[in-house]
């Protein structure tokens, strides 16, 4: 199956990064759906680069959990499933809560300002109807917060969980401004809780944020505080 990739891409100094970024966007917004075959020769022609450059980009996407090398079948875009979405949400929450345990005491006013700047970038993307740019700032927000914990070994795992849940959301998210702004507003409560310095408040807000975020499988799970 030949995949529609749109208009050819202009050449850039870092071709591997360009191929990676281009394919990442197509996968995240659902233009390359689960099961799509990515042929190295076709991609090399489209991006105007060597197959070795394409292979390098595909390896990075495999590290992200977005594609799977399938031997003679080539490289396939990974499917998004409810089972994995549930597991990813659980892992993501555990990692982010663990990070908060060691980072909340390190939060300074400059960190709060940086997080609010990332929210402002989300607002700008939402008003432009750019769900992908919003996703990029959303990931930057959560990774910035986690990096305060100085637990670098877990960051790649968190990044993969974020990509999976965001990809699932973007497949079904209404890109209207009011819908995207509602997603953005969920982050204000996290920063407000951080500014208050209350660990319990931050954990409660973050748990609600992660476990009730809209996705194509409905809410994955109710927060523990709401379970009867």
Judge whether residue 7 has pLDDT over 90: no
The dihedral region occupied by 215, where left means phi > 0, alpha psi between -120 and 50, and beta the remainder, is: beta
Which tops the pLDDT comparison, 181 or 224?
A: 181
What pLDDT is attached to residue 226? 38
Cα 183 from Cα 138, distance rounded (Å): 9
Judge whether residue 74 has pLDDT over 80: yes
pLDDT digits (tens, 9 = 90+) for 152-173: 999 999 999 999 988 888 776 5
- Which residues, 6+ apart, have CB-to-CB distance to 184 below 8 Å? 119, 122, 123, 126, 134
Cα 152 from Cα 121, distance rounded (Å): 25
Which domains are assigned to the chain?
15-77 (1.10.10.10), 82-226 (1.20.120.530)
Cα 11 from Cα 18, distance rounded (Å): 8
The two tokens of residue 110 are: 């400059």
pTM of the model: 0.82
């Amino acid at each position: 199956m030949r995949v529609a990739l749109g208009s050819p891409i202009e050449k850039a100094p870092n071709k591997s990064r360009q191929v990676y970024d281009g394919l990442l966007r197509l996968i995240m917004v659902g233009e390359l759906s689960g099961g799509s075959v990515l042929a190295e020769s076709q991609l090399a022609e489209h991006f105007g680069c060597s197959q070795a450059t394409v292979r390098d980009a595909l390896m990075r996407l495999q590290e992200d959990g977005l594609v799977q090398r399938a031997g003679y079948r080539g490289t396939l875009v990974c499917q998004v499933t409810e089972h994995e979405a549930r597991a990813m949400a659980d892992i993501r929450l555990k990692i982010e809560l663990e990070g908060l345990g060691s980072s909340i005491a390190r939060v300074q006013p400059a960190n709060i300002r940086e997080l609010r700047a990332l929210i402002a970038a989300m607002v700008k993307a939402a008003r432009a109807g750019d769900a992908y740019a919003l996703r990029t700032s959303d990931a930057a927000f959560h990774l910035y917060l986690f990096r305060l914990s100085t637990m670098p070994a877990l960051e790649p795992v968190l990044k993969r969980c974020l990509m999976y849940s965001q990809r699932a959301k973007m497949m079904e998210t209404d890109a209207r401004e009011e819908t995207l702004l509602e997603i953005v507003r969920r982050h204000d409560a996290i920063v407000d809780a951080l500014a208050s310095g209350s660990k319990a408040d931050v954990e409660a807000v973050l748990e609600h944020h992660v476990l009730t975020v809209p996705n194509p499988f409905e809410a994955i799970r109710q927060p523990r505080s709401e379970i009867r």
